[in-house]
Structure 1
């Protein structure tokens, strides 16, 4: 594989299973502002599938299933650690989340990149990160 033609091109989507579909749907669409691409109820699975998009085209699939088991995320459990969103202006996004009643950790500075970042959680406690990307990288 050459550097100009990597095996993996980009992240297409991240799938999330919600314990309360309506609550998580509101959080990801209204609070975080993701765009709804499609929404389907799958009768055979008694499950919703909601396709959401970020501005760059990356998608988040939000699922509901009857009685999903909880997934530990704290203390640091093995597996996916968190989902990070690039933002252009950390202060604006943090203020918006706080205005919606979302608890946000204090903003920190990445010791290696010098960029600001912070963490918050979705309604099911999934750790989410805001990463203030350089203007050309947003």
Structure 2
């Protein structure tokens, strides 16, 4: 399971010209589910993301988490995070989980984040979405539940 985590002052998801979700200050998380991922992968990322100290304290150091800030999460499913571009010019998505498996783990991840006391909003699974965000910092973190990076 992979995630791109961005510290944002605001972000929103639009589908067919309509805003379906939006948050103010918090984290925008793009989440990709791989073949073979389990609930343990989702819990690992939920723990890591909610406890990541990427918000500034009073001294200006990144020393506070989304939990400390009482911020919001916007979680968007993005299978393209699993793209393999090592061969040829067309990305392969063979490592992406099939939709029925991916949505179950995506929903599990969202629930795990909510259980930690956060307000969590979502995109629309398998929809073509327009994501608008204002990255603060900019701060962008890449995470992988297999700890590949």
TM-score normalized by the length of structure 1: 0.26
Larger relative contact order (Cα-Cα within 8 Å, sequence gap ≥ 6) = 2
TM-score normalized by the length of structure 2: 0.25
Q: Which structure: greater helix fraction? A: 2
Structure with the greater alpha carbon radius of gyration: 1
Q: Which structure: greater strand fraction? A: 2
